[in-house]
A = this chain, B = another copy of it.
Amino acid sequence: MSQATSKDALVSLFEGHQTFAISSHLRPDGDAIGSMLGLGLILEGLGKTVRYLHQDGVPENLAFLEKESVNPIGRAGELDDCEAEVFVALDTANRERLGEDVLALIPKDAVQVTIDHHITNECYGDHVWVDAESPATAQMVWELAKSAGWELPASARVALYVGASTDTGSFQYANTTARTHEMVADLLKAGLDVAEVNRMTYQNFPCRRVELLRLLLETLERSEDGRLAWWSLTMAMKQEVGYRPGDSEGLVDVMRGIDEVVACVFFEEISDGTIRVSTRSKTTEVNVSELCGLFGGGGHILAAGARLDGPIEEAREKVVTALKEAASR
């Protein structure tokens, strides 16, 4: 039976056990990996035994975080078993988002703890701490450590910083709180190398990503009134730059950064010939979740996606026509 848990109760629970398994959500981002390693490294510092397991493993752009850890993050599908008294799911709104290989590895007798900042959290597990006001699960882990008086090893400081920084867009999003900055002030006072961690997080892109940006800018189109923008990535362009998954992550911000642009679309040709459509809107007046719904997709009002049949010219024609109509309402 799930129950809402206080920070203090979690502190007692963690201090009262010796072996832990920690996981997070599919397609992990900076907060997923950052909160996992942040909590785990703190517990290791307290002399606990910690195992990290993940359905997908660590993506290339976050591999530098894993290097800080003594125990690597195991890909759940490659592990035979996972002994632990306590299983902690971090930053993961529901059980399914852990992935089936992780679910299969959770020890039957383990106490199951959920720590998350998603308002949509389904409150699964034996002890649940959800704080939807917190911009990042990493910040909740820091709150836990501060309230317990646990020491933060240098490697945990890096992991927690990356979690908070990436989930707040380098402290720019509306979710950023005064407490987030108090956390970072605390991490910096303890000796965090702010230039190095940001360099690894944001200045560590392969050169082919810049080449990709150049090619995408050549395909940039805008509506007559300038309020809509879109660009396209074909398989030929991917081959030209040696594209790998993740290379285009965040590039849509270049279109979104244009003052007049209210909504923008990224068309991407996939190897199976279908077209992945990613949309972003700056205003609730242009609901891109509804737009993507027209094509069997969905998402949030300001960020949504869909998958259409190719060729890319036809998909683009359909989506841009629908977007123009949505934006003219």
Contacts and interface: CB of A to CB of B under 8 A. Distances in A.
A185 interface: yes
Interface stretch (A97-105, A253-261, A292-300): A253-261
A189 B182 CA distance: 11
20 contacts: A170-B170, A171-B171, A173-B194, A176-B188, A178-B189, A181-B185, A202-B257, A205-B258, A205-B259, A206-B258, A207-B226, A207-B260, A207-B261, A209-B257, A210-B217, A210-B220, A210-B258, A213-B213, A214-B214, A214-B217
A184 interface: yes
Interface residues of A, number: 46
Interface in A157-190: 169-174, 176-179, 181-182, 184-186, 188-189
Interface of A: 169-174, 176-179, 181-182, 184-186, 188-189, 194-195, 198-199, 202-207, 209-210, 213-214, 217-218, 220, 222, 226, 253-261, 282
Contacts of A199: 282
A170 to B, nearest CB: 4
A204 B282 CA distance: 11
Nearest to A184: B181
Contacts of A217: 210, 213-214, 217
A214 B218 CA distance: 7
A215 to B, nearest CB: 9
Contact of A210 (B170, B206, B210, B254): B254
A178 B253 CA distance: 27
Contact of A195 (B174, B198, B204): B174
Nearest to A177: B188
Given A169-B198, A210-B258, 6 more contacts: A178-B184, A178-B186, A205-B259, A207-B260, A210-B217, A214-B217
Contacts of A282: 199, 203
